[in-house]
Amino acid sequence: MNNRFGLTGKGVGIGYLDTGIFPHIDFGSRILCFRDFLYGGRRPYDDNGHGTHTAGIAAGSGAGSSGACRGVAPESLIISLKVLDRRGNGQKRDVLRAMEWILENSGRYGIRIINISVGTTEQNPELHAALIAGVERLWDAGLHVVTAAGNMGPDPGSVTAPGSSRKVITVGSSDMLVDRQAVSGRGPTRECVCKPDLVTPGFEILSCAPGGDARRYTRKSGTSMSTPVISGAIALALEKRPGLSNVEIKMALRDSAGDLGYPHNLQGWGEFRLDRFLERIV
């Protein structure tokens, strides 16, 4: 996704809590740090592919596709925190350890944005509360936390944690709200917060994949794919105005979204519009 402002997200660090990352050609030398909270691996790897895919949507340069698969912020920096296994499953303790690590190391690696394309249902109150508390600590520390609404729709109250936090920016999929693809999580949350905050396409998104000659791409669908679009856009905004707070960014997202005509608990403020968003960053 290109933008007419000539911004690249250069120098803005995005932390990804996911399945890891494969050193795809599109990432070049921009993987600043990799931490494996499951097995202690020291070199970047992704035994699932989900983390590589989401990072490509936000930060891929398109080098392996002649620019066709260029991400939103192709020069942003990548900090990959592996908290999910090869099946995409994880444990609360690993996610919380990763969040604590971010609080301790965000300054060292220039992390401004946290992309969390994972979530869990609210059926376990203890787990739900711990995840909400974790992301809200990141938010209160001044980090821009972007989370997926989850793929548990279409029933009301299907936004997953930690996307159900009232503070963070929660993203649904605009092309997965109705009809056969109506899986994008929708509110209200258990605390009666109307989520998601906004939506953007997430169906059959082409992005980076592990393996081969480091030039592979694949298509994946879900709110996980919508979330890094917003993370990348925030990187562009912070390149333009580094001092913007997470609340200011959130309000700019609200004011630039386009109404799709759906109820608020489906679309939030509406569909994300990159140009309109960046025009508000002055």
Instruction: Give the residue numbers annotated as catalytic, written as ranges.
Output: 18, 50, 224
Q: Are 96 and 162 in contact (CB under 8 A)?
A: no
Both tokens of residue 68?
A: 């066709």
Q: How far apart (Å, rounded) are the C-alpha atoms in residues 246 and 144?
A: 5
Both tokens of residue 65?
A: 């596709």
Q: Are 281 and 237 in contact (CB under 8 A)?
A: yes
The string over 194-210, giving b where at least 16 C-beta atoms fall within 10 Å of a residue's C-beta and e elsewhere, is ebbbbbbbbbebbbbbb
Q: Looking at this protein, which amino acid is placed at residue 164?
A: S
Extended strands (E) in the chain: 13-18, 31-36, 77-82, 111-116, 144-148, 169-173, 198-200, 205-208, 217-220
DSSP-derived 3-state class of residue 139: helix
Judged by phi (left if over 0) then psi (alpha if -120 to 50, else beta), residue 233 lies in alpha
